[in-house]
Structure 1
């Protein structure tokens, strides 16, 4: 409502506008590469540690992740973030980070990740691409980020619709590994049953 050139807004609307501006301010600074450089000796040592960690990442987290992305193995929290994003719901910073870091770690193609954000009202492809590349360790400090733990997601209200698998894991990637194994075992079981049925029918 406009009165004498002024637009009246509610407290909720004012809070929303402030949230948008703060997020924009943070995103602009995250998207700006840092010029800070570590001492050479420290950088060399850090690179060695990072290389060792990357080479043993799957061992540290249990079994290796599936070679191909399995959408049906996504944890409920990630489905919540993704479905909300595709529906145009404005996601919090934690939701975006959790979703993006999860997709990065399971091997989702960059272009596909960018496409998920096109329905967001303030979508900026170049900024979105940079932020994803930053989380993937392709830009900035070259650190590949992993998703927050389940406890952190609960604290930020991102843990939604937990299922039976959630009770036995403490991290979204652990859920993904376990759910993927369960799905593959179930499919293998069906294949074995079908093969047995076919053999029986052939013998008859």
Structure 2
């Protein structure tokens, strides 16, 4: 198990590496607390932060093995939308990684992943061909993987010879959908008692963590930017300046704005970000499939999104709690 498997634990190569290592899942959950804790963190970060990245040093072995543990935990959770949110977070994290690698921006080293490799992984090599100005995708594959949203409607696309024209950036978004589809496949599943029983305390901890987030869920007044907490003001300024926000920062900003009552159009207008990738994130996080819960202060701090806290920040545990106090 190496760094490549750790970055993309849902790929066939990672699964084969786990099989070759002869790992027994029941033994793992009983005896390896490091792997179980990373699996727990993976799920919690996914459900409250929209990412599975960690700021802790994790060995490739722990990172790879935490993935099947996380899938077990998600299957045991009685939390609405847990599977969808978990799969979306895994896919968003993978999207950040593979776009960096495909565009030569990755500084991690240890991987020579190519776009062709990814297409082969998802059996898409015969369905995608490169053109002078982008790619063409077989219409059936396009319809299966295209995100919802008017910009992805087939009537707005160039259709010829059973293929649909997409840009390279749009192809990456289709691959993100393929990753999400792969992660969600088979979830939730029935977990045997020898695996479920040792994980019961871990599942209870995750459940308590999710249920203990007490903050206002709705507001009577129209959204009031003057009452936004410093972290959101900072993210909003970065978004308006055109900064390439990390997935967890984009998640925090969009879900907060949805939490104060903004709809999709208002969020796009407020952030000044009309590009398709951002609009898609808004639709996924704040549209009919959402809304996702905004991350709390602990998560914001862990992911580096807590900046310039003021005195009110010391007495609250969630950005929406801050907002409610400022409104009062």
Q: TM-score category by the smaller chain?
A: 0.5 to 0.7
Which has the larger Rg? 1
Give 3-state SS (helix, strand or coil) of 2:305's partner: coil
Q: Given the alignment, which residue of 146, 153, 158 partners 2:305? A: 158
- Where do residues 39-50 of structure 1 align in structure 2 (5 Å cutoff)? none
Output the TM-score relative to the length of structure 2.
Answer: 0.36
- Where do residues 75-114 of structure 1 align in structure 2 (5 Å cutoff)? 75-114=229-268
Using a 3 Å threshold, how does the CA distance of structure 1 residues 114 and 80 change in structure 2: closer, same or farther? same
Using a 3 Å threshold, how does the CA distance of structure 1 residues 160 and 91 change in structure 2: closer, same or farther? same
Using a 3 Å threshold, how does the CA distance of structure 1 residues 105 and 62 change in structure 2: closer, same or farther? closer
Mapped to 2, the partners of 1:37 and 1:68 lie a distance apart of 41
Using a 3 Å threshold, how does the CA distance of structure 1 residues 76 and 62 change in structure 2: closer, same or farther? same
Q: Structure 2: which 5+ residue stretches go unaligned?
A: 1-99, 108-113, 115-168, 189-210
Output the TM-score relative to the length of structure 1.
Answer: 0.56
Give 3-state SS (helix, strand or coil) of 1:17's partner: coil
Deviations, residues 122-149 of structure 1 (Å, cap 9, x unaligned): x32xx4333222212513xxx4211111
Deviations, residues 49-68 of structure 1 (Å, cap 9, x unaligned): xxxxxxxx9xx535852421
The alignment status of 1:176 with 2:264, answered yes or no, reads no
Q: Is the 8 A contact 2:295 2:318 kept in 1?
A: yes
Provide the residue aligned with 1:128 in structure 2.
278
Mapped to 1, the partners of 2:216 and 2:294 lie a distance apart of 16
Q: Report the number of matched residues.
A: 140
Q: Is the 8 A contact 1:64 1:177 kept in 2?
A: no
Provide the residue aligned with 1:18 in structure 2.
106
Q: Is the 8 A contact 1:31 1:130 kept in 2?
A: no
The RMSD of aligned alpha carbons is: 3.7
Mapped to 1, the partners of 2:174 and 2:326 lie a distance apart of 36
